[in-house]
Amino acid sequence: MTLLMMLFLIAGFLLGGKTGLIIAFIFSIGMNFFSYWFSDKVILKLYKARQVNHDEYPDLYRIVQNLSMRANLPMPKVYIIDDDTPNAFATGRNPSHAAVAVTTGIMSILTWNELEGVIGHELTHIRNHDILIGTIAAAVVGTITFAAEMASWSTFFLGGRSDDDDEGSNIVSTLLLIIFAPIAAILLQMAISRAREYMADTGGAKLSGQPLYLASALKKLHMINEKTQLNHAGPATSHLFIVNPLKGKGLFGLFSTHPPVEERIKRLNDMALDII
């Protein structure tokens, strides 16, 4: 997170010198404050998630409730995303203000045992306080990417009007920002996410009581998400989901915030053998 904030300040300096650095610093403080208190609401709204209760989805609600008690966690809010692409994520600033969101697609393709593994995975993220870090990372990466896009448009419309050396240097700095800042931000996001996914898989398997349930769920989710993409999914928030919601080919596959599903399944299978 420190490296992400440093990258954000460097972007401000490249765009506006000392003034840009000061503005980026002030903006980063405000952004962190906003991320801590409101980013979970923004993400849920982005994916058009709606809160549901026991009467609407009794089986889902029961799974979340039972596993929360088993994990010694407060009951999180439960959200549904009306999307056929199966996926799930958790968000919130702490276990007392957490939410678990699943798509309608995941409800239709997973067995209840497999869904227990998925919910256990998300509750482990909550218990490990991954969700706050992941949510703030999403906000920082999204802002850096937005700044790079704005810089590219600024260079396109305003670049090349002056032969002044300082102006040329600014253009070079801006081009470096446009090219490298989003890549660096995503690489840092990957470093935050990948190790936490392995830990959440282990915790989810323990909560559900059977690693093979989660392994089977991951296989199904991965196969479908390789072919279809969740609505409104983008690089800034992809790390929040249990499997990468972006199609895994090309650049998105190279910079995936998730560890390889094959390795995750292998670890869960090994875990099941240890239990036996």
Catalytic residues: 122
| 256: three-class secondary structure by DSSP | coil
Rounded to whole angstroms, how far apart are CA atoms 166 and 169?
Answer: 5
Burial zone of 57 (CB within 10 Å; 0-12 exposed, 13-18 middle, 19+ buried):
middle
Q: What does DSSP assign to residue 260?
A: -
**Are 252 and 243 a contacting pair, CB within 8 Å?**
no
Can you read off the two tokens belonging to residue 79?
Answer: 């959200």
Sort strands 98-103 and 77-81 into parallel, antiparallel or unpaired. Answer: parallel
Helix (H) or strand (E) holding 90: strand 88-92
Which residues, including other chains, have CB under 8 Å from residue 155's CB and lie 6 or more apart?
171, 174, 175, 178
Q: What does DSSP assign to residue 76?
A: P
Distances (CA, A) of 273 to 17, 210, 266, 276: 57, 11, 11, 5
Sort strands 88-92 and 77-81 into parallel, antiparallel or unpaired. Answer: unpaired
Q: What does DSSP assign to residue 149?
A: H
**Are 180 and 213 a contacting pair, CB within 8 Å?**
no
